[in-house]
Structure 1
Amino acid sequence: MKYIKISLFIFLVLVSFNNSIFGSDAKIYLKYQVIKKDSIFYDKKSNSKIDGVVKWYYTSGVLEREALYKDGKKNGVEKWYYKSGGLESNGLYKDGKLNGVEKWYYESGVLKLETLYKDGKKNGVSKGYYKSGELEQEALYKDGKQNGIAKLYYKSGELEQEALGKDGKLNGVVKWYYKSGELKQEALYKDDKLNGIGKIYYKSGELKVESLFKDGKKNGVVKWYYKSGELKQEALYKDGKLNGVEKWYYESGFIESETIFKNNKAISGFLYTEEGKKRKMTNAHLHKLNKNL
């Protein structure tokens, strides 16, 4: 049984400001004339702290980045550009730290990511978008860490995943949904690890798989079900490995096979016909089981 571990949403991003913020009389520092010492930027020639606009260029001559500095620290808008000349990102700095909304754009000009910063840390809602402009994901941050509900959406707008974060880690129930809205799977996390019962559902709503986790690993009996609700398979896990008896069942309820596992390796077993006839598993059959694990 595979559980997709939902990653806490990370947004790289930078608020658009008018070019006039730089000022027409600002001093321009070209590439390679700026050096950095102890987080302070200096004019390489005069060794004085930078005051004005610093610009970087691609080898083609196209503007790559521009930023406004005061007393050697970023103070004002910083912009990054694609080689094609289009705006890639922009953000507002105060005393060398991001403060305000930071945005990144696709090369087409469509907004890609936006996040709110305070004193250089993410604080508030962060959002990511598909190339076509639809909302893809959103998460709430506090002091640089994800705190609260994070959501992921299908391109068509329906909710795909939702997770609860605390201090940057998954804590609580994580849920996945089918595009049509039905619950697909749910699992309980503690400090970024699966802990507790995890369930997967058929699109029609019936339980498909039920597992017990501890510290991110399967521990205990895992059960699979037919859509009819009849038990299909059950297996015993310890520390994420098969240990003990695994049984498969026909939908009629009769046993189909039983296998003894030790440390994730099948060591013996029996096969049954639906009429109840029993035969021992061959070494070739056991080898095939182990190969497919």
Structure 2
Amino acid sequence: MKKLFFIVLIFSLSGNLFSQSPLPKNGVYISYWPGTQTISEYGFYKNEKKDGTWVKYENTGKLKEVYNYKDGSKEGTYILFDVYGNPTREGRISKGYFTGIEYQYENGILWKKHKYLKPLATNEGLLDQPYPIVVVFETEYDLNTGLMRNEGKVVEGKKDSVWKWYDEKGNIKGIETLLLGKKNGISQRFYANGQLAESAFFLKGEMDGTRLMLTENGDTTEYGNYTKGRRNGFFIIHESLRIKDLGNDQKEYFVRGNYTDGYMNGNFILKYPNGKIASNENYVGGKLNGNRKLFYPGGKISYEANYVNFKLNGKELRYYENGNPRQLTEYVNGTMVGKQITYYENGKPSEETVYENGKMNSFTRYYENGKLKEKRIYMNGKLLKQEFYDEKGKKAELSIPKTALELKKKKEKLNKEIKELNKILEESGKQKLTTIGGDHLPSDYVNKDTTIYTFVEVMPEFPGGNSAMLRYFGSNLKYPEIEKDSDFPAKCYFSFVVNETGKVENAQVIKGSGNLDMDKEALRVINSFPQFKPGKQNGKTVKVKMNIPISCMLPK
């Protein structure tokens, strides 16, 4: 780090020299801040022109600036200070120009270093001349470590030519070629171990040319060509993707394909890290067009379909990893037609849907043993009739409407109940339920990530039924000490989740009693509920969210 040296002369002169000298000016000149004995400026005159070292002070007595003069013009070294007396700039002036190296400081610590590649006019005595272009070589330092952070040429205040950046240990981490602040030429980034991370070419600020990206171990993650900032030509890319029909998790893939003006164009092949093909797809202008196939990591097919004019046409097939079909759907110009069949992993059908003009016409569901489980009839996409069967094939009693009119009435009733509950939820700051209309279900029902249902075919059952559950709650509740005249709402509402095994979890207060101890006791009792008979949807046990209303009153 550069250390600052300068000399301040102290004069021991007779009293009359410490006042502003009368004209003609020759010798020592001293001026004071008005009404004080604090010097504001002192220096020397020679033949009535400033000559030698001149110093200015703040009214606090702190140094403000030091300049050297010759024949009345600034010539030689100069130093500028902040209001605390710390140096901020130090450099040299020659024949009216800033020249050589200028040092810049932050709180007295070296921050930047400018080397003037072209002298910069001070404008003193040169106001009638055109102001020259400022060209300096700039070096910036870390204020804590003193190590170099970056260096390069600056033209008119903009980075230009080759610039280098360094990390906190002084290792080079980047090189860029710029033209008046915009990338223009090769640009490179490096890892701390010195391994190249990225190399790319730019033209007037846009990526234009070959781009190479590597891992810290030197493996390629991208290689291809850009034109005006867009991918153009053949590319090899290694990236993390989430692909439907290949699982919900992010996976690493190697992508090979051609781009035109930034859009995927032609055949694209994705490979797993083991080298096996993950997908084989065809694109036109960034849209799927032609045959598409997806594969499991072991090599077996997962999905196949065909696109014509960017729309699904023909059979769309999905497979289990054991090779058995998972789902078959038929399309014409992107619209589902005919049958859609979903299969169990053993190869037997689980669901069969018939579509007409993109609308559901009928729906049939089967047990894993092949027996009929459910049958629905639709007209113009609206449910007309629905029947359920047990695993032996016997028709079950319906607990849902048989006709569209009955279904509409039930929805209206349910929406009314939800609206009332939403008032309570809004008061307590909880998330509201969505109303049921058309094919929509409450938000909990369609949440595929958590798979917590609100309504299922078979609801969870407390041992002995709901009346037994309320009796259990009342007999196990231990009332905390509460004032006799405490005022409670007529009803309190609590919610809880019955998981796949029938265990109660995530009990919450929807509308409490207003007494924290009372609410805590209620939650304790709910969490102590014995194991429920779990709820079922599509024949499988699932998580179900339930609400319980409790009359809030003190025992007599």
When normalised by structure 1's length, the TM-score is 0.65
Pair 1:45–1:226, CA change in 2 (3 A): closer
- Which structure features the higher share of helix residues? 2
Pair 1:48–1:274, CA change in 2 (3 A): closer
Identity, in percent, stands at 28
1:72-87 equivalent positions in 2, closer than 5 A: 73-82=182-191, 86-87=195-196
Contact 1:174 1:186 survives alignment (8 Å): yes
Q: 1:108 corresponds to which residue?
A: 217
Q: 2:291 corresponds to which residue?
A: 173
Q: 1:20 corresponds to which residue?
A: none
The 2-side partners of 1:274 and 1:237 are apart by 26
Cα deviation code 1:189-214 (max 9, x no counterpart): 46766555311124454433111357
Shift of 1:217: 7.0
Task: Give the 3-state SS of the residue equivalent to 2:456 in structure 1.
Answer: helix
Shift of 1:45: 7.0
The 1-side partners of 2:386 and 2:167 are apart by 66
Aligned residues between the structures:
254
Q: 2:200 corresponds to which residue?
A: 91
Which of 157, 160, 163 in structure 2 is aligned with 1:54? 163
Shift of 1:164: 0.7
The 1-side partners of 2:138 and 2:176 are apart by 10
Q: 1:186 corresponds to which residue?
A: 304
Which of 355, 373, 385 in structure 2 is aligned with 1:256? 373
The 2-side partners of 1:55 and 1:272 are apart by 75
Contact 1:29 1:53 survives alignment (8 Å): no
Contact 1:51 1:72 survives alignment (8 Å): yes
Q: 2:237 corresponds to which residue?
A: 128
Contact 1:29 1:55 survives alignment (8 Å): no
1:117-156 equivalent positions in 2, closer than 5 A: 117-129=226-238, 136-156=254-274
Pair 1:214–1:82, CA change in 2 (3 A): farther
Shift of 1:260: 4.8
Moved more, 164-173 or 66-75: 66-75
Tell me the amino acid that sits aligned with residue 364 of structure 2.
K
Tell me the amino acid that sits aligned with residue 255 of structure 1.
L
Larger radius of gyration: 2
Tell me the amino acid that sits aligned with residue 264 of structure 2.
Q
Which of 333, 350, 369 in structure 2 is aligned with 1:232? 350
The 1-side partners of 2:226 and 2:332 are apart by 36
Contact 2:289 2:308 survives alignment (8 Å): yes
Q: 2:340 corresponds to which residue?
A: 222
Contact 1:28 1:52 survives alignment (8 Å): no
- Which structure features the higher share of strand residues? 1
Tell me the amino acid that sits aligned with residue 280 of structure 2.
E
Contact 1:68 1:75 survives alignment (8 Å): yes
Shift of 1:146: 1.1
Pair 1:114–1:273, CA change in 2 (3 A): same
Moved more, 228-237 or 178-187: 228-237
Contact 2:301 2:319 survives alignment (8 Å): yes
- Alignment of 1:272 with 2:395, yes or no, is no
Contact 1:187 1:197 survives alignment (8 Å): yes
Shift of 1:271: 2.4
Contact 1:150 1:162 survives alignment (8 Å): yes
- Alignment of 1:164 with 2:332, yes or no, is no
Q: 2:422 corresponds to which residue?
A: none
Pair 1:279–1:226, CA change in 2 (3 A): same
